[in-house]
A and B are shown apart, each in its own frame.
Chain A
Amino acid sequence: MAIPDRGFFRIFSQSAQVPDNALPTVFNIVIPSEARNLLFLPVRGQRMSLAHRIIPCLDTDGARVVKGVNFVGLRDAGDPAALAARYNAEGADELVVLDIAASRDRRPTFLDTIRSVAAELSIPLTAGGGIRSLEDARSVILAGADKVTVNTAAVARPDLISELSREFGAQAVVLAIDAKRADDRWDVMVRGGRDSAALDALLWAKIGVARGAGEILLTSVDRDGTQLGFDVPLTAAISRAVSVPVIASGGAKLPEHFAQIFSEGAADAALAASIFHDNTQSIRELKHFLAARNIEVRLPC
């Protein structure tokens, strides 16, 4: 639509309803709150909208970052806390930490990792990998995570999503979906993308949201590790089918890939690991690249 939904057009394009509790002025004229905001508003010329998020991901074995490890300029290259501090300073909008080994006996180590990472951050932290129960999620949140991701365990027992959402709120529950192309649709893959769950990804995304997931972390198994760019058809299909934000993951290399996934792919956020870890791509430069293409990002950061 050509008419912006802000500013003066809004006054004329909507019937201004006077709220019950609108304050009377000295002239005893009631001004609807919408109009009053405008009257008192110093014009800034800025467009206000939700920024597209850039999210680095740390894949750990519980203690150390294990994927895309080719770090530059870090004393302790695989240390999650050192990387977290760097991303916090470089303008990352959030951070994701995954325990890709997710073995039971290493869980205490992963919780220590979350604590040390959280201590470095003034941005939100999502943690996941091996979360099978309410108690698993609680321990991760108490260690400092704002959100948890669930994947294989949620496919096995969808009630897990509902339980987490009731307990911590939808905003804390991220449904991670690993999807792989199968003819004209996408299959949900589990156990680290190895096995098919014989479940349609689009359907699963809708079920997950209906059960209370507040966000979807969507990884294209076909694109992951290829550096060919995000999976645009997959992301667009899921993002347009659900009412919650979608984080695209898998295949990122170039700034153009990010621009494309935000525009054509309708992604709300984009996640990558190795290109950030090895400094192939600076987060701040990436954001300037996107801003120059009129894609809303958080700047300065």
Chain B
Amino acid sequence: MKITLLDYGAGNVTSVERALRRLGAEPQRSNSPECIAKSEAIILPGVGHYSALIRALDQQRVRAPLVDALHRGVPFLGICLGLQVLFKSSEEAPELQGLNLLPGSVCALPSTVKLPHMGWNQLRLTRSSRLLEKISPEAFFYFAHSFAVTDSNGESVAFCHHGSDFAAVIEHKNILAVQFHPEKSGDPGSRLLQNFLAVCSGS
């Protein structure tokens, strides 16, 4: 199984890589269009500013092969910003175009609460989830973000709440994504990554 860890240069991918290795996977870091095109699974961890990620995808000519792979059904896991880029656009950088693979857009969380939404929070499941299988519904996950998908519909299998409801886990065919950081979320996070590996191997 050739799992590509899309390393676009701004995010700290080491912790994701380490978490996957602990589970016996051997991800390869890459940002080459050729490598993305040949991947059997792709993980996109994202931290920082939305525009940095979008610009990197374009400058490194990764956008087209990535979208192509997702259309072909290659299993994908987006983490944090890696979830947000799946949508049409983000209020964080309205002039830029997201991957536009899912309906909805990324908005700023309301300023009635402290931002960034930083720390451990729980989820509310709306239907059964492949990523959350065998994880306690009470489990906490680690979030660190100020923007979120507040208008996602059918693809959200779990919501979180901070000022408003937002999509915490998205599952749409082969496109899976989480707003939190599984690699920083202790045992439940590790279990989630393991569940993604199971999706990749088709079990």
Interface residues of chain A, those whose CB is within 8 Å of chain B, are: 6, 19, 21-23, 33-34, 36-37, 40-42, 44, 46, 48-51, 53, 88, 93, 118-119, 121-124, 141-142, 144-146, 166-172, 214-215, 243-245, 268-269, 298, 301
Contacts and interface: CB of A to CB of B under 8 A. Distances in A.
Contact of B48 (A42, A168, A215, A298): A168
25 contacts: A19-B151, A21-B151, A22-B153, A23-B154, A37-B124, A44-B124, A46-B122, A46-B138, A49-B161, A50-B120, A50-B121, A93-B119, A122-B187, A124-B142, A124-B184, A144-B12, A146-B15, A146-B184, A168-B10, A171-B116, A171-B118, A171-B146, A243-B114, A244-B114, A244-B118
Given A6-B161, A124-B142, A21 B48 contact: no
A37 B150 CA distance: 12
Given A21-B103, A122-B184, A268 B114 contact: yes
Contacts of B153: 19, 21-23, 33, 36
A53 B140 CA distance: 12
Interface in B11-29: 12, 14-15, 18-19
Nearest to A244: B114
B203 interface: no
Contacts of A51: 119-121, 140
A175 B101 CA distance: 37
A169 B48 contact: yes
Given A42-B125, A44-B137, A48-B124, 17 more contacts: A22-B153, A33-B153, A36-B153, A44-B124, A48-B122, A50-B117, A50-B119, A50-B121, A50-B162, A121-B15, A146-B12, A168-B10, A169-B49, A214-B116, A244-B116, A268-B114, A268-B119
A166 B160 CA distance: 26
A99 to B, nearest CB: 19
A245 B114 CA distance: 6
B160 A301 contact: no
A121 B19 CA distance: 10
Interface string B123-147: 1111100000000011010101110
Given A37-B159, A40-B127, A122 B19 contact: yes
Interface residues of B, number: 50
A214 B118 contact: yes
Contact of A144 (B14, B19, B122): B14
Contacts of B120: 50-51, 53, 93, 298
A19 B159 CA distance: 17
Given A118-B14, A171-B145, A171-B146, A37 B126 contact: yes
Contact of A215 (B118, B152, B186): B118
A118 B47 contact: no
Question: Most A CB atoms within 10 A — which of B49, B104, B117, B118?
Answer: B118
A122 B161 contact: no
B111 interface: yes
B21 to A, nearest CB: 11
Nearest to A44: B137
B47 A168 contact: yes
Contacts of B137: 44, 46
Nearest to B181: A124
A49 B165 CA distance: 11
B121 to A, nearest CB: 5
Contacts of A245: 114, 116, 118-119
